[in-house]
Structure 1
Amino acid sequence: MDGNTRRTRFENRVELEREFLTHVNQRFGRLAPLAGMTGDAIDAWQVRAREAGCGNEVDLVHDLLIEISKRAELIADHSRDVFDKEGRAMAGALDDLRVMLSKAMSMAR
């Protein structure tokens, strides 16, 4: 694996994280912006969102964000175990999480 492949995976992870940060912050950013996609950042966001009056509705979003964060980390992982036979990161489950997050965000309105 060359440096360009590693860089591309990292760039894909960053792009993915930005996508989800933007989506969450469009809904909750005025009251409780999500600052990052690490587990600690997501946990801190959940606390701030509850304190800001968003209530328990953020719990489902929180859980989805944690799972998305784990998937994004796998995308940047260089281990062969996280990739399919053609060398691509398993993206199907991530697409499912996108749909689930969209539904959760619409329910949280």
Structure 2
Amino acid sequence: MDGSTRRTRFENRVELEREFLTCVNQRFGTHAPLAGMTGDAIDAWRVRAREAGCADEVDVVRDLLIEISKRAELIADHSRDVFDREGRAIAGALDDLRVMLAKAMSTAR
């Protein structure tokens, strides 16, 4: 694997993380902005979102963000053939997570 392939995967991961950060911050950013997609950043966001009076749905959003974060990490992984436990390719699983996150965000108050 050459350096450009690694860079492309890293750039794809960053782009993916920005996509989800933007989604969450459009809904919660005024009161509790999400600063990053690491587990610690997501957990800190959850605490702030709950303290800001956001609904319990933040727990569902938090769980989805943790899973998305793990998938994004796998995308940057050097192994090209990474699959989840059900045998689906990562890209398909991310599409499912996008839909689930959109649904959770629409029900959040």
4+ residue runs of structure 1 moved beyond 6 angstroms? none
The structure where helix makes up a greater share of residues is 1
2:59 is paired with a residue of what secondary structure? helix
Matches within 5 A, 1:20-31: 20-31=20-31
Which runs of 5 or more residues in structure 2 are unaligned? Answer: 84-88
Consecutive unaligned residues in structure 1, runs of 5 or more: 84-88
CA RMSD of aligned residues (A): 1.2
| Superposed counterparts of 1:6-85, under 5 Å | 6-82=6-82
CA distance in 2 between partners of 1:44 and 1:90 (Å): 26
What's the % identity of the aligned pairs?
Answer: 88
Aligned residues: 104
Residue 86 of structure 2 corresponds to none
Q: TM-score, normalised by structure 2?
A: 0.91
- TM-score of the aligned structures, taking structure 1 as reference length: 0.91
> Tell me, what secondary structure is at the counterpart of 1:79?
coil
SS where residue 91 of structure 1 aligns?
helix
> For the Cα contact (< 8 Å) 2:46–2:59, is it kept in 1?
yes
**In structure 2, what is the equivalent of residue 86 of structure 1?**
none
Equivalent residue number for residue 108 of structure 1: 108
